[in-house]
């Protein structure tokens, strides 16, 4: 979202299996994401979106408020995110010999179902929730970038989704929003 809004943001990865004390001091619950906005600590993606939309000037071209955009935010977190995160964790942290094949098959099937769903919803204007970019695009794009980074199936058979993804990925916004998953 910071990338979409053009806000400066310094990203710091947290190993959630070995949380540093300085991170737990910011958020005793120990969950990510956490935003440190010049000393003001905001925990949780929803709270961060609300904080940034309150403190940053409202950009009329970026819809952060409609129900449709928030439904996509929830979809990105729960259906797409929860449905595939074990794939990411195992491919990122585990050994290729120890993959839980049944779990990976479920993640792959959830991923493909999500791709088909997103493909069917891409607006004629090319955005996910209406004729302009919104929280929906901010929420879904990095999830897809993460899945692709860790080897989930590519978007080749979903032409609208692929066009949406690639045009974002090539843009300045997409390059920044996926910098943390793109190998250097
Ligand atoms: N709904 C919350 C979810 C926060 C959350 O569960 N984060 C997970 C990563 S997706 C986490 O920090 N897990 C590590 C842990 O709970 O120890 C949000 O979107 O901010």
Same domain, 13 and 76: no
- Whether 182 is in a domain gets the answer no
Q: Is the CB of 32 under 6 A from ligand 1?
A: yes
Same domain, 33 and 100: no
Q: Is the CB of 23 under 6 A from ligand 1?
A: no
Same domain, 116 and 153: yes
Q: What pLDDT score was predicted for residue 126?
A: 86
pLDDT band of 184, cuts 50, 70, 90: low
Same domain, 34 and 95: no
d(CA 44, CA 32): 7
Same domain, 85 and 20: no
CA of 31 to the centre of ligand 1 (A): 5
pLDDT digits (tens, 9 = 90+) for 83-119: 999 999 999 988 989 999 999 999 999 999 999 999 9
Q: What pLDDT score was predicted for residue 58?
A: 67
- Whether 110 is in a domain gets the answer yes
Q: Which residue has the higher pLDDT, 79 or 59?
A: 79
The DSSP-derived string for the chain is -HHHHT---------TTS--HHHHHH-TT--S-EEEETTEEEESHHHHHHHHHHHSPP-TTSB-SSHHHHHHHHHIIIIIIIHHHHHHHHHHHS-GGG--HHHHHHHHHHHHHHHHHHHHH--TTSSTTSSS-BHHHHHHHHHHHHHHHTT---STT-HHHHHHHHHHHHSHHHHHHTTTTS--
Same domain, 71 and 51: no
Please give the tally of structural domains in the chain. Answer: 2
d(CA 144, CA 125): 20
Q: Whose CA is nearest to atom 16 of ligand 1?
A: 31
- Whether 78 is in a domain gets the answer yes
CA of 42 to the centre of ligand 1 (A): 13
Same domain, 75 and 115: yes
Same domain, 136 and 172: yes
Share the mean pLDDT of the chain. 92
d(CA 85, CA 79): 10
pLDDT band of 78, cuts 50, 70, 90: very high
Same domain, 78 and 148: yes
Same domain, 43 and 77: no
- Whether 62 is in a domain gets the answer no
- Whether 136 is in a domain gets the answer yes
Ligand 1 atom closest to Cα of residue 14: 12
Residue 31's contacts (CB-CB under 8 Å, 6 or more residues apart) are 16, 43, 44
To the nearest whole percent, how much of the chain has pLDDT over 90?
A: 70
Cβ atoms of 52 and 5 within 8 Å: the answer is yes
pLDDT higher than 60, residue 6: yes
Same domain, 112 and 155: yes
pLDDT band of 175, cuts 50, 70, 90: confident
Same domain, 12 and 49: yes
- Whether 61 is in a domain gets the answer no
pLDDT digits (tens, 9 = 90+) for 117-170: 999 998 777 899 988 899 999 999 999 999 999 999 999 999 999 999 999 999
Q: What pLDDT score was predicted for residue 72?
A: 97
Q: Whose CA is nearest to atom 20 of ligand 1?
A: 44
User: What is the rounded average pLDDT of the residues 40-58?
Assistant: 88
CA of 157 to the centre of ligand 1 (A): 31
Give the torsion sign (CA, 160, 88, 13, 82). positive
Give the CATH number, domain containing residue 39.
3.40.30.10
96: containing domain: 67-177
- Whether 60 is in a domain gets the answer no
Q: Which residue has the higher pLDDT, 182 or 168?
A: 168
- Whether 90 is in a domain gets the answer yes
User: What is the rounded average pLDDT of the residues 1-29?
Assistant: 91
Q: What pLDDT score was predicted for residue 136?
A: 95
Q: Is the CB of 16 under 6 A from ligand 1?
A: yes
């Amino acid at each position: 979202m910071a990338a979409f809004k053009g806000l400066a943001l310094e990203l710091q990865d947290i190993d959630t299996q070995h949380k540093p004390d300085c991170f737990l001091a910011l958020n005793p619950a120990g969950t990510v994401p956490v935003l440190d906005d010049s000393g003001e600590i905001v925990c949780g993606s929803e709270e961060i979106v609300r904080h940034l939309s309150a403190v940053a000037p409202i950009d009329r071209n970026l819809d952060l408020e409609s129900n449709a955009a928030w439904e996509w935010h929830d979809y990105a977190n729960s259906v797409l995110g929860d449905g595939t995160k074990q794939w990411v964790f195992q491919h990122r942290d585990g050994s290729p010999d120890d993959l839980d094949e049944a779990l990976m098959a479920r993640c792959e099937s959830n991923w493909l179902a999500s791709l088909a769903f997103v493909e069917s919803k891409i607006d004629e204007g090319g955005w996910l929730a209406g004729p302009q970019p919104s929280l929906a695009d901010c929420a879904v794009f990095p999830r897809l970038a993460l899945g692709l980074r860790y080897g989930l199936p590519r978007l080749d058979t979903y032409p609208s989704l692929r066009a949406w993804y690639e045009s974002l990925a090539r843009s300045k916004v997409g390059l920044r929003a996926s910098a943390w998953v793109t190998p250097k």
